[in-house]
Structure 1
Amino acid sequence: MTGIATYALSITTVEASLMVFVVVTAIVTALARDVLSSIIVFGAYSLGMAALYTFYRAPDVAMTEAAISAGVTTVLLLLTIAKTSRIEYDVSFESVDWSAAGAVSLLGAGLLTTMTDMPVVGSMESPVWANPEVTQHYIENTYAETGVENTVMAVLASYRGFDTFGEAVVVFGAGVAAMLVLHREVFT
């Protein structure tokens, strides 16, 4: 067996459940016409992604997703709604842009075809093991080269310092923009 059938056989029940949850919440977030409903479902989507990242053994990414996306972003969006006027929509599938939904479905189907190239979690064919010399170099020499004991923090702060600084600038800019929006009065 090759392709999607082989990958489907290697998926655990937990992994499949998380994937279905993430896809369903993403679709509901995109199709919801009520902004409050969309924000709440988006928060659930972010928590599902955090759980999926944890399952894939990336706890640092999972904590960031849970704290920033599910926590801070959801709170800022809810505060923004509280400070602005709310537009009521008639909730029905007649107002769905079916051409956009079809385009998203085609993109999703296209992405599913790429899953055949993904190695199973923990597999020796994983990209992490494609170049074990580099991985071993970071594990053995991180403290000597950077003075930082935690390898993950050394990579983020030293080896990828400019990238991490850029991400911090983006988060700061988003925070300033949110504060500007929240302090503005809305005239209704």
Structure 2
Amino acid sequence: MEQGVLYLASQSPRRRELLQQAGLDFAVLEVDIPELRDATESPQDYVQRVARAKARAGLAQLAASEGGVVLGADTEVVLDGDVFGKPVDADDAAAMLRRLSGRTHEVMSAVWLVAEGREQGDVCLSRVRFATLSEVDIAAYVASGEPFGKAGAYAIQGHGATLIEHLDGSYSGVMGLPLFETVRLLRRFELAAAR
């Protein structure tokens, strides 16, 4: 049923885990794309652009004869129009968690597929409500090290799940790769079995 080779343009262990969970075979490509939002760019345009840029950078690494399909993805936490990337240090992580405390934020997760002469993408939007966090809660979570390397300074698949009161949307999307949207795109590229 599968035609061609799927490549993941990401070093994220969470994205690899999610693709494996979906039963997909893939190879990993290393890409280095600057993740800087333009001041005029909406959060959704930003996550789509970054996901597309990763996929295109991955495709550029392949020889034309390889005929692969490259998947790029980006996930961002958005509150009050501000995009929360990965914290640069403990103070930054704590500041993000303070802002998220007791509030509902959006998680935008974009997935983009690129093949020679063809590309298509999708965005998954989830809403996450955090519990009200004390300074002790925040300090303990930051000290655990889990917030680092995670958009919004938390990991839903880890201890960060204990901070979340409610999720409206996609668990895998908040984790870093919306599986429903990803597999739907892969079917269009004939890289996943049709239901």
TM-score, reference length from structure 1: 0.27
Q: Which has the higher contact order (CA 8 A, sep 6+)?
A: 2
Bigger Rg, structure 1 or 2 = 1
- Structure having the higher strand fraction is 2
